[in-house]
Amino acid sequence: MSRLAKHDKTLSLLVLILSVFSIASFFFLSSSPTSAESRSASVTVGSACTLSAVENTAHTATIPSGTNQSDIGRTTFSMVCNDSGGFSIYAIGYGSNELGNTKLIASINGSAAPSYDINTGSNDSGTPSSWAMKLTPGTNLTSSNILNGYGSYSVIPSSYTKVATLVPSTAVTNTSTLEATYRVNVASTQPAGNYNGKVRFVMVNPENDTPLQPQTTQAGQICYYKNASDALGTMGCQTITTSATNATLLASNFSREGYGFAGWSTTYDYSDPNGFYGPQEYITFTAGTYTGSNPGLSLYAHWVKSEGYFQDWYSCNTLAEGEVTALTDKRDNETYAVAKLADGKCWMIENLRLENDTADNATGALAQGYETGFTGLANPEAPWVTSSDYTTANSLYSTDGSTINTIPGSYKGNRFPRYSNVNTPTNVADRPNNPTANNSTNTTSNAGMYSYGNYYTWAAAAANTTATSTGDYNAKSICPKGWSLPRGGNKSREATNDFWSLIVTGINNGINPANYDYSEGPYYNGSTEAGPVSKALRAYPNNFVYSGYIHNESVIGRSGSGWYWSSSTGPSGNSNAYFMHFFGDSEVHPATGNTSKYNGWSIRCIGGLGFQ
């Protein structure tokens, strides 16, 4: 499982509490035999960077008023990192369990006395009272590795500040050491008492990253934070009334190269194992209080680093149920979070975002298993194209330039919008041409373009040039090699219906829909029956979203419906295909119903079905 691992070591001190952070290593092995020979073994050794601390002298002292005392406690840090990018050490004040608080908190006669707190500062005599820190290089470090003036006593930083760095010339480094010491100046007017504060030191790898940190959200709001300096996109906050007891979260508008988006976390460092939510999960809370004593709810993007390529990955059986990793598509280098879900299979837990360009179209490199003579997706389109002269984008094109199948006249102009991490385009031309359906004036409705992914006709989704027999699944797909569209089908095909297996058998513990006797399309109906299933579909780590669909140039249903293609044709053969659909809390169709192949719907890929 590729997830940033956090390990805190806390030294209980009178004047200083020192917290340190390390990044755990991961090890990835990809190997799968064939009937003739074993697949070439592939071993990736991940970055392993650790930070540890040894207290050399106690961080405590009794200081007469009107004096200055240096060397109030010494701590030696030991750093080991095997990454050629090196490491950086950041520091931040952490008074009273609040990052950015740089005061020594006053306790006079056993009671809090904030007016006598000792603020950080570099004064070494006179007034006001102050405290400061400095760093001394040790093994494998020199004064040039100490940054921002911390080679001498300097103020405790109120935000994460880089205080030391090492960029090695080789991929493997030996242990490096660094010593921290502290100084306190006590003015003659400083009352007697105990004063306590903290500094947190964080080791970050690689060097160009910055530490994660908590954010404060105002009462009555749920705010979303990208939680990485190199993440892209913007999102605002949801306004939640103080009397509300529930909310549906916003889908993500953030992207990050080389990382999959696995949902939202209630902690910036993913330290709460029960604090993960799907992009549009339904959550409940006590009115006005979301987590702990916080008046507002801060949610942080949960990033999972890629462990390799989909096309090379055959390790689903090594994951535990609910475990999340991330994989990258070789075709466009997009990374997706992947999880083993309740059906025991590995699914993408993000919607497919595959785009195309002219070169891809010429070589047919985007999709696996196209029929002879067909080379790829339609040429890329502008973000929103309204002309009715074009046939469906993201449908297949043949070598002679004709479209696959005949697009009915009512479906002309379905130029599908590609995903974007730009929140609510200000240019009307960049929005869908049906603002009512897309609620384009509502900033929250467009906030999930990244999570919504792209939209595809069934012909594009299934890489299909000719209709298969009624109900049959199509082994070809636009999914990465080794991955497939989930299978669907009516009641008689439940055993091979992957959506049924996930929803009915896995999520709903084998409880069939109340209208199970419907021969063609049993589905969960009504808020009592469908509501819990819909909520579970959107919950972490299933992460299905209300991406809606495209029909006749309109984006429809993003406010409360999700539509996902299966690989199975419907009873009408050429015209229809089975789909998974959930509509708010009122309906959940586990791919037993079917509809027109020419709509633009979302795609989730599933691994290990043995296709391609």
pLDDT in tens, 104-147: 999 999 898 999 999 999 888 888 999 999 999 999 899 999 99
Structure token digits, residue 288: 């006005």
pLDDT the model gives residue 351? 93
pTM of the model: 0.69
Kindly indicate the confidence band of residue 170, based on its pLDDT and cuts at 50, 70 and 90. low
The full set of domain ranges for the chain reads: 9-204, 359-418+453-607
pLDDT the model gives residue 272? 85
pLDDT the model gives residue 464? 62
Neighbours of 509 (CB within 10 A): 8
- Residues 310 and 295: their CA atoms lie apart, in Å, by 41
8 Å CB contact between 117 and 164: no
Name residue 302's amino acid: H
Structure token digits, residue 367: 């999709």
- Residues 235 and 251: their CA atoms lie apart, in Å, by 10
What mean pLDDT value characterizes the chain? Answer: 75
From 603, 564, 601, 593, select the one nearest 471 (Cα to Cα): 593
pLDDT the model gives residue 105? 93
Ranking 14-18, 54-58, 253-257, 364-368 by mean pLDDT, the lowest is: 14-18
CA 605 to chain CA centroid, nearest Å: 17
Percent of the chain with pLDDT over 70: 70
pLDDT tens-digit map of 30-89 = 334 445 555 556 666 666 778 889 989 888 889 998 999 998 889 999 988 877 778 889
Start-end of H helices in 209-316: none
Structure token digits, residue 161: 């500040």
**Is residue 299 predicted with pLDDT exceeding 90?**
yes
- Residues 602 and 586: their CA atoms lie apart, in Å, by 20
* Residue linked to tokens 């959200």: 217
- Residues 220 and 242: their CA atoms lie apart, in Å, by 6
Handedness of CA 494, 499, 504, 509 (dihedral sign): positive
Ranking 307-311, 487-491, 554-558 by mean pLDDT, the lowest is: 554-558
- Residues 438 and 35: their CA atoms lie apart, in Å, by 51
Torsion-angle region of residue 493: left (phi > 0), alpha (psi -120 to 50) or beta?
alpha
pLDDT the model gives residue 134? 96
Query: Phi and psi at residue 498, in whole multiples of 5°?
Result: -70, -35
DSSP string spanning 74-95? EEEEEEEE--TT-EEEEEEE-G
Kindly indicate the confidence band of residue 453, based on its pLDDT and cuts at 50, 70 and 90. confident
* Residue linked to tokens 């669907």: 488
